[in-house]
Amino acid sequence: MQVEQLTTTVGQAMEGPLLVTPKVFGDDRGFFFESWNQRRFDEAVGAPTVFMQDNHSRSSRGVLRGLHYQLEPEPQGKLVRCTAGAIFDVAVDLRRSSATFGQWVATTLSAENHQQLWVPVGFAHGFLTLSETAEVLYKASGFWSKTCERSLRWDDPQLAISWLPDRMNGDAPLMAEKDSAAPGLAQALAAGDVFA
């Protein structure tokens, strides 16, 4: 397993999110890889991590899910992977005390590259489906909580996330109403809906 830190669009290393690339063994029969190993993951993130639930979604091309996060007392870290198709996966730093507050990192996760993105507590997470369909599985370190759940506006100019519009053929993304009506970073900050 190889683990690497991601950098923001301004070239600054972001502490927290990690790109996990498993060692894949393949031959003419197919492939095998270890998708989860508690000991190796704990070593990679530097702390024991307990996952409370696994989630599985299927989305069509152009579906944008997010940006989602949960506040205390049920915050969630997420280990995300795409098992069918491909997604553009984004993590936004919502830790006020962080040097990278309000900045984002992104990577393409696919069934082909087998990579996973670790999105720790303190970050909003979202993805855009790039393939005809995509199936995304993620382990969550906390239970889902309606009262703790928040959404952040996907196209907030303050965040300036590059959602790869060229891959959407100029079409607007398909999304849930709660996501399209989500507040921007300034509103979330004013409401106290960010992390310390």
Residue 68 annotated among the catalytic residues of the structure: yes
State phi, psi for 179 to the nearest 5 degrees. -75, -40
Residue 138 annotated among the catalytic residues of the structure: yes
Q: Which of 68, 69, 114, 125 is catalytic?
A: 68
Q: Which of 69, 114, 125, 138 is catalytic?
A: 138
Which residue has tokens 């307990």?
50
CB 72 within 8 A of CB 122: no
Task: Count CB neighbours of 161 within 10 A.
Answer: 21
State phi, psi for 125 to the nearest 5 degrees. -135, 140
Distance between CA atoms of residues 91 and 100, nearest Å: 12
Active site residues: 68, 138
